[in-house]
């Protein structure tokens, strides 16, 4: 049996970032990934000349002063991974108007004030408040009175302080739809942090695709003497007298380690890999009570560019059937794709290499519950694909006749490829009550740490990478 200082379970961005930080410190590290390739939700694949990034529409904090850029600088990867900023940042397509989110926040605020002249003070106030929350979350989350004030509050509470104008409220809260909860349920901290980050500092994608980031992290690990084994699923985490001693692979191989970091789904980590009886009572209760985020239905379309005018569009477009985000959430619960909101990504506007010449890739994303009453994803996949294409035609007329490739990922696909419980898009549900149950990076089991979207600080690629750094920093 080999012995390692650290074994990392899972090669998603959380596990890879943790591995990069640890190997740079000289830790003897082994990363075990159950799939044949690395990346988790950020793994990419090729189909008929198109490069598909199934789980990426935009990244936050990729600007010169952004948290993601600083994180990459910390890992000496700033030169290897560069980001391209969207311009415009997004389009929100309502039935009666398209709201363009321009690159400059001042332009956006002026535009909204022009659209809602009676709400000028509220518009200034709400963006200022969200931005201050975002700054405090980045700099001093534990000591910030603002963070403490808004931690138990939902986005509706924050909106109520600044405006009662329903159309304006939907525009301000629209970025929250990515996370599959409506203003009445979603954390005001999360929506503030994400919206302020994107509206003030921009939305980004890595130049050359997300593969450049995954590859750079892999090279860092291997380059500093770390080992990576793909197709190596872990079955159990061995624990003796309350302390981890290593892992057992599904193949039967045992590997000793002083420390284990799990990047896998939190319930799988604690309840399957360790076992309920070995857990403290409060952790068991926490895991039973916390709910995963909803899942998503995804369609990937290769299209001929001719005549579609995609070059005039934003790389991220939100389709909103009306101004009632709570109503859209109810529709989502019923699987009503026509009344739910959805996102369209056009990654080839940033990375043309992802499609053959004269073509674009159009990625459709709609949040959905993992289980829809009476529905088997296998049987209904085709039907959902068609309904999503119909829906997208409203924003991109002529789309259907230009399609040359159709692929799709159902909630079951997300589970199958990554093991994420119920195909959850980004870990735990983003409500204040579930966020309070989020297990921290250091677990009650001696020598066991967590990295990824099932632990702190939270959802999204940047936060997931941050969690990898935090876990690494906690390991003595
Ligand atoms: C459809 C979709 C769209 C998204 N869009 C965006 C977006 O636009 N922007 C954004 O920032 N975020 C987006 N996200 C969220 C983001 O992709 C995730 O939050 C993030 O990639 C999760 O990284 P992770 O490291 O926590 O976990 P994962 O990517 O889930 O990685 C976990 C890894 O652990 C491995 N593993 C699991 N069990 C075992 C085991 N027993 N043994 C060995 N290995 C194991 C898995 O195979 C996987 O590789 C999206 C997610 C989805 C599903």
- E-strand ranges in 233-387 read 234-240, 243-249, 254-262, 295-304, 316-319, 342-345, 359-368
Return d(Cα 336, Cα 334) in angstroms, integer. 5
Tens digits of residue pLDDT in 44-80: 999 999 999 999 999 999 999 999 999 999 999 999 9
Domain 3-53+209-291+431-474 has CATH 3.40.50.150: no
Question: Mean pLDDT, to the nearest integer, of 261-279?
Answer: 97
pLDDT at 212: 98
Return d(Cα 177, Cα 230) in angstroms, integer. 34
Q: Measured in angstroms, how far is the CA atom of residue 163 from the centroid of ligand 1?
A: 36
Residue among 11, 20, 40 whose CB has most ligand 1 atoms within 8 A, to mutate:
40
Return d(Cα 119, Cα 89) in angstroms, integer. 23
Task: Look over the chain and give the mean of its residue pLDDT values, rounded to a whole number.
Answer: 97
Please state the atom number of ligand 1 nearest to the C-alpha of residue 273: 41
Q: Is the pTM of this model over 0.95?
A: yes
Q: Which positions ≥6 away from 161 have C-beta within 8 Å? A: 125, 126, 129
Return d(Cα 215, Cα 39) in angstroms, integer. 9
Longest dimension (CA), the chain: 71
In which element (H, E) is residue 333 found? helix 325-334
pLDDT at 310: 97
pLDDT at 47: 97
Q: Percentage of the chain with pLDDT > 70?
A: 100
Identical fold for domains 3-53+209-291+431-474 and 104-201, yes or no, is no
Return d(Cα 316, Cα 138) in angstroms, integer. 24
Nearest-CA residue for atom 50 of ligand 1? 55
Residue pair 266/439 in contact (Cβ under 8 Å)? The answer is yes
Give the pLDDT band of residue 217 (cuts 50, 70, 90).
very high
Nearest-CA residue for atom 31 of ligand 1? 12
Return d(Cα 63, Cα 77) in angstroms, integer. 14
**Sheet of 342-345, strand order:** 98-101, 90-93, 316-319, 342-345, 359-368, 295-304, 403-409
Nearest-CA residue for atom 48 of ligand 1? 40
In the chain, domain spans: 3-53+209-291+431-474, 85-100+294-425, 104-201
Any atom of ligand 1 within 6 Å of the Cβ of 44: no
Any atom of ligand 1 within 6 Å of the Cβ of 12: yes
Any atom of ligand 1 within 6 Å of the Cβ of 32: yes
pLDDT at 173: 98
Whether the pLDDT of residue 275 is over 70: the answer is yes
β-strand partners of 257: 4
Instruction: List the helix and strand counts (H, then E) for the chain.
Output: 16, 19
Any atom of ligand 1 within 6 Å of the Cβ of 264: yes
Any atom of ligand 1 within 6 Å of the Cβ of 452: yes
Whether the pLDDT of residue 2 is over 70: the answer is no
Please state the atom number of ligand 1 nearest to the C-alpha of residue 41: 29
Residue 52 has φ and ψ, to the nearest 5°, of: -110, 125
Question: Mean pLDDT, to the nearest integer, of 136-145?
Answer: 94
Please state the atom number of ligand 1 nearest to the C-alpha of residue 235: 41
Residue 61 has φ and ψ, to the nearest 5°, of: 65, 30
pLDDT at 373: 81
Q: Which positions ≥6 away from 59 have C-beta within 8 Å? A: 68, 83, 203, 204, 205, 206, 460, 461, 462
Q: Measured in angstroms, how far is the CA atom of residue 427 from the centroid of ligand 1?
A: 8
Tens digits of residue pLDDT in 355-399: 999 999 999 999 999 999 888 999 999 999 999 999 999 899 999
Tokens describing residue 57: 């529409």
Fold held by 104-201: Guanine Nucleotide Dissociation Inhibitor; domain 1 (1.10.405)
Question: Mean pLDDT, to the nearest integer, of 106-133?
Answer: 98
Residue 342 has φ and ψ, to the nearest 5°, of: -155, 160
Fold held by 85-100+294-425: Polyamine Oxidase; Chain A, domain 2 (3.90.660)
Q: Measured in angstroms, how far is the CA atom of residue 168 from the centroid of ligand 1?
A: 33
Return d(Cα 473, Cα 259) in angstroms, integer. 13
Can you give the three-state secondary structure of 184-253, one letter per residue? CCCEHHHHHHHHHHHHHHCEEEECCCHHHHHHHHHHHHHHCCCEEECCCCEEEEEEECCEEEEEEECCCC
Return d(Cα 363, Cα 404) in angstroms, integer. 13
Residue among 9, 11, 12, 367 whose CB has most ligand 1 atoms within 8 A, to mutate:
12
Return d(Cα 165, Cα 459) in angstroms, integer. 29
Whether the pLDDT of residue 1 is over 60: the answer is no
């Amino acid at each position: 049996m080999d012995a390692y200082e650290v074994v990392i379970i899972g090669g998603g961005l959380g596990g890879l970032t943790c591995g990069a930080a640890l190997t740079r410190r000289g830790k003897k590290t082994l990363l075990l990934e159950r799939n044949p390739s690395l990346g988790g939700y950020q793994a990419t694949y090729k189909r008929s000349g198109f490069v598909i990034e199934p789980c990426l529409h935009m990244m936050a904090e990729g600007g010169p002063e952004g948290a993601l850029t600083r994180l990459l600088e910390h890992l000496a990867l700033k030169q290897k991974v560069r980001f391209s900023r969207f311009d415009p940042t997004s389009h929100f397509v309502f039935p009666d108007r398209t709201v363009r989110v321009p690159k400059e926040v001042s332009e956006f605020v002026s535009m909204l004030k022009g659209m809602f002249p009676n709400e000028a003070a509220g518009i200034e106030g709400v963006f200022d408040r969200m931005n201050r929350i975002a700054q405090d979350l980045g700099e001093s989350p534990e000591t910030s009175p603002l963070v403490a004030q808004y931690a138990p509050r939902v986005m509706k509470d924050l909106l109520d302080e600044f405006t009662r104008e329903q159309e304006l409220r939907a525009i301000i809260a629209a970025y929250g739809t990515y996370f599959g909860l409506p203003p009445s349920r979603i954390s005001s901290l999360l929506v503030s942090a994400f919206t302020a980050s994107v509206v003030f500092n921009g939305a980004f994608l890595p130049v050359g695709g997300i593969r450049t980031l995954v590859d750079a992290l892999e090279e860092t690990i291997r380059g500093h003497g770390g080992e990576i084994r793909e197709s190596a699923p872990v079955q159990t985490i061995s624990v003796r007298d309350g302390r981890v001693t290593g892992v057992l692979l599904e193949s039967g191989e045992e590997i000793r380690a002083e420390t284990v970091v799990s990047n896998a789904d939190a319930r799988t980590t604690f309840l399957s890999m360790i076992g309920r009886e070995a857990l403290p009572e409060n952790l068991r209760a926490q895991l039973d009570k916390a709910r995963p985020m909803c899942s998503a239905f995804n369609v990937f379309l290769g299209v001929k560019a001719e005549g579609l005018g995609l070059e005039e569009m934003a790389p991220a477009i939100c389709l909103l059937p009306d101004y009632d985000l709570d109503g859209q959430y109810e529709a989502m619960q019923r699987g009503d794709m026509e009344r739910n909101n959805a996102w369209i990504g056009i990654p080839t506007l940033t990375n043309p290499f992802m499609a053959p010449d004269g073509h674009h890739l159009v990625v459709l994303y709609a949040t959905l519950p993992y289980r829809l009453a009476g529905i088997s994803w296998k049987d209904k996949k085709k039907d959902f694909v068609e309904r999503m294409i119909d829906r997208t035609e409203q924003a991109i007329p002529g789309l259907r006749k230009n399609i040359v490739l159709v692929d799709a990922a159902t909630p079951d696909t997300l589970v199958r490829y990554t093991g994420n419980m119920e195909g959850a898009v980004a870990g735990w549900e983003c409500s204040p009550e579930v966020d309070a149950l989020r297990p921290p990076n250091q677990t009650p089991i001696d020598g066991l740490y967590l990295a990824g979207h099932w632990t702190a600080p939270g959802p999204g690629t940047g936060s997931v990478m941050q969690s990898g750094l935090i876990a690494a920093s906690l390991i003595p």
